[in-house]
């Protein structure tokens, strides 16, 4: 291993450069003759699951990695957790090349794959936690303090004497999240962590993740199909489709580019006050004291900036906003990116 892999200044950062992964699979031809042919002369096909993807995640940032089914999100995460080796390109996680130094990488990361568990199926949760404590060499005092914190945020103690196989999905994923963070890793990978959960548990998990980013400074790379989750947790998103990166930007930038369909409805204190367009904002309608402002093409500000401009410029007695929801915005982004 080269010294550059142990770059301490990179603590918590993720760097992905030209990352690619091709899978080779054997095609099974239909019917009996086809099966015989496949045995004698197997037909191999190549699938480019991830192709030349580059992005960065800063320490303490939560980035949502989005894309339709089969886009290459899980394959990307598997390379960053060291489970898969790329066909070409390079990645560094907290300064470590994950697929070259799997053990060192495992100390720096926590990972939760919503559909699988890393806990011991036949053991009570508490014993799984104790095994992880021993594997990572976490001092008993630290272990207890961290479990206490996780219990406070995730309500684990009600079921941590239960065998993992008897937990409900929501209970199991909460335990998996705690297990992934027990060794205090700076970087966390979450592949659809809230899939299949009810809204209450989803909110609890999101609150926990927010706390881990904002209070503990962890770097999180999250995949999800749930736009409420993106809205609630992420400031920046990367969109991939057919293995290729098609978009990398903040939610504000993406909204501006694909979803400038907001309206700001203001009631003016003076019903006869003259109104005029503001930078990037046009007047859509006026009826007495009621004025409706809308975005002016490519120069339009975000709805939050527009609201600020309107309030600063006019004396208003009431103001309301209608905003395109993120689901609509991302649909527009997918369509323009050829992803839908
Ligand atoms: N081990 C494998 N062997 C062959 N092909 C694979 C393998 N793993 C993934 N693929 C293919 O690579 C592509 C990307 O899959 P991946 O699981 O990364 O997508 P995803 O974006 O995570 O999808 P989803 O949102 O459905 O979970 C898919 O076409 C998938 O069939």
**pLDDT tens-digit series, residues 28-60:** 777 877 777 777 777 788 999 999 999 999 999
pLDDT band at 2 (very low <50, low <70, confident <90, very high): very low
CATH number for the domain running over 3-15+56-253: 3.40.50.300
Q: Give the pLDDT confidence of 59-116 residue by residue, as tens digits.
A: 999 999 999 889 999 999 999 999 999 999 999 999 999 999 999 999 999 999 877 8
Helices (DSSP H) in 215-338: which residue ranges? 227-233, 251-258, 303-313, 326-336
In terms of pLDDT, which residue wins out, 4 or 248? 248
Q: Where are the beta strands (DSSP E) in 202-243?
A: 219-223, 236-241
pLDDT band at 277 (very low <50, low <70, confident <90, very high): confident
Rounded CA-CA distance 116/332 in Å is 32
Residue of the CA atom closest to atom 11 of ligand 1: 49
**pLDDT on residue 94:** 95
Candidate from 44, 45, 47, 229 with most ligand 1 atoms within 8 A of CB, to mutate: 47
Q: Is the pLDDT of residue 301 over 90?
A: no
Give the residue extent of every domain in the chain. 3-15+56-253, 260-323
Model's pTM, two decimal places?
A: 0.79
Pocket around ligand 1: residues whose beta carbon is below 6 Å from it?
Answer: 23, 25, 47, 49, 67, 69-75
Per the prediction, the chain carries an average pLDDT of 88
**pLDDT on residue 92:** 97
Rounded CA-CA distance 302/222 in Å is 24
């Amino acid at each position: 291993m080269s010294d550059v892999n142990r770059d301490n200044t990179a603590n918590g950062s993720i760097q992905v450069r030209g990352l690619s992964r091709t899978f080779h699979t054997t095609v099974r031809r239909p019917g009996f003759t086809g099966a015989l042919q496949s045995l004698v002369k197997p037909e191999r096909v190549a699938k480019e699951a991830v192709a030349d993807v580059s992005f960065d995640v800063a320490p303490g940032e939560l980035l949502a990695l989005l894309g339709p089914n089969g886009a290459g999100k899980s394959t990307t995460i598997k390379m960053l957790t060291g489970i898969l080796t790329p066909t070409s390109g390079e990645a560094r996680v907290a300064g470590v090349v994950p697929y070259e130094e799997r053990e060192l990488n495992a100390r720096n990361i926590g990972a939760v794959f919503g559909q699988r568990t890393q806990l011991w199926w036949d053991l009570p949760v508490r014993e799984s936690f104790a095994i992880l404590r021993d594997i990572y060499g976490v001092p008993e005092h630290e272990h207890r303090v961290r479990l206490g914190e996780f219990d406070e945020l995730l309500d684990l103690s009600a079921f941590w004497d239960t065998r993992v196989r008897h937990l409900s999905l929501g209970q199991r994923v909460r335990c998996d999240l705690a297990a992934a963070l027990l060794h205090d890793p700076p970087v966390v990978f979450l592949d659809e962590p809230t899939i299949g959960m009810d809204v209450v548990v989803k909110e609890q998990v999101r609150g926990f993740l927010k706390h881990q980013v904002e209070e503990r400074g962890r770097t999180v790379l999250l995949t999800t199909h749930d736009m409420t989750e993106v809205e609630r947790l992420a400031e920046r998103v990367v969109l991939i489709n057919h293995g290729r990166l098609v978009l990398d930007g903040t939610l504000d930038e993406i909204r501006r580019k694909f979803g400038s369909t907001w309206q700001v409805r203001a009631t003016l204190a003076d019903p006869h006050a003259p109104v005029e367009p503001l930078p990037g904002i046009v007047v859509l309608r006026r009826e007495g004291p009621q004025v409706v402002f809308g975005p002016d093409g490519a120069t339009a500000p975000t709805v939050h900036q527009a609201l600020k401009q309107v309030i600063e410029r006019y004396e208003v007695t009431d103001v309301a906003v209608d905003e395109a929801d993120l689901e609509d915005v991302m649909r527009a982004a997918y369509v323009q990116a050829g992803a839908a």
